[in-house]
């Protein structure tokens, strides 16, 4: 189920602080409505949540509020520019329950069996090794924990990645099940974004 990655190894297009700022544009709500995504994630008071590939922190406030001060949010991203953004979001809150970590979906640095929820938002199409990422999600989730994947439908829209880079939900279903997860729910996030909730048995 591996797919070709359009970029070389090493740095990515997300090393740019200005480009990451554009992900915070309020117009992004049209495609990535926060309320819909938070409801589908089912993050509750006191939970531990990992926002993997958290970027500039579009979801950080929503996640921090959902888990409350008794909860914990790990905001993980491989890009130094993204982590700078994330630290700004944390300071703006301030959200003492959020920890910013250097890592990838394939290797998060989060302890095993420690999180209730994992969010992969608009990162699935960027993953070089989806199978390894699913194995890592299974490792960090508690039994019964939920992974929510949301990404662009493979169709043309005026914004978002080119069609050639987009990955269908079926790809994630197959790869997730191959890693031992069960498909819990298929969600229509917006007209051009699919959602998939998987559970760790
Ligand atoms: C389109 S942005 C999405 C950011 C955020 N999730 C959002 O929706 O606003 C993609 C992010 O994935 C990160 N990324 C790239 N490769 C990754 C990987 N292998 N694991 C985790 N994150 C990755 C990039 O650094 C970037 O911040």
- pLDDT tens-digit readout, 13-26: 899 999 999 999 99
- What is the rounded average pLDDT of the residues 183-189? 98
- Averaged confidence pLDDT in the chain: 94
Within 10 A of 25 (CB to CB), how many other CB atoms are there? Answer: 11
User: What's residue 13's pLDDT?
Assistant: 85
Among 22, 37, 53, 118, say which to mutate for ligand 1: greatest number of ligand atoms within 8 Å of CB. 53
Ligand 1 centroid – CA 201 distance (Å):
26
* CA of 122 relative to ligand 1 center, distance in Å: 7
pLDDT score recorded for residue 95: 98
List, for residues 52-67, the tens digit of each pLDDT value: 999 999 999 999 999 9
Tokens of 20: 């990451």
Of ligand 1's listed atoms, the one at least distance from the Cα of 79 is 25
Condensed to tens digits (0 to 9), the pLDDT of residues 127-161 reads: 999 999 999 999 999 999 999 999 999 999 999 99
DSSP H or E segment with residue 51: strand 48-52
Q: What angle do CA 5, 49, 140 make, to 5 degrees?
A: 65
Task: State the pTM of this model.
Answer: 0.95
Torsion angle of the four alpha carbons 56, 122, 186, 51, in this order, in degrees rounded to the nearest 10: -40
Protein residue closest via CA to atom 4 of ligand 1? 55
Pocket test for ligand 1, best of 34, 126, 136 (most atoms within 8 A of CB): 126
Q: Which residue, chain included where needed, has tokens 């890009």?
A: 79
């Amino acid at each position: 189920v591996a797919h070709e990655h359009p970029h070389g190894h090493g740095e990515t297009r997300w090393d740019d602080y200005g480009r990451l700022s554009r992900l915070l544009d309020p117009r992004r709500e049209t495609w990535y409505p926060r309320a819909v995504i938070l409801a589908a994630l089912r993050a509750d008071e006191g939970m531990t949540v990992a926002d993997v590939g958290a970027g500039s922190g579009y979801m950080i406030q929503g996640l921090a509020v959902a888990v409350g001060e008794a909860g914990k949010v790990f905001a993980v991203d491989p890009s130094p520019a993204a982590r700078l953004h994330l630290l700004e979001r944390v300071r703006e809150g301030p959200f003492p329950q959020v920890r910013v970590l250097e890592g990838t979906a394939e290797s998060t640095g989060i302890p095993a069996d420690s999180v209730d929820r994992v969010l992969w938002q608009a990162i699935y199409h960027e993953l070089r090794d989806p199978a390894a990422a699913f194995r890592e999600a299974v490792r960090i989730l508690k039994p019964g924990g939920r992974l929510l994947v949301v990404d662009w439908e493979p169709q043309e829209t005026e914004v978002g990645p080119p069609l050639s880079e987009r990955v269908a939900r079926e790809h994630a279903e197959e790869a997730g099940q191959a890693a031992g997860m069960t498909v819990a729910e298929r969600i229509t996030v917006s007209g051009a974004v699919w959602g998939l909730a998987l559970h760790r048995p």
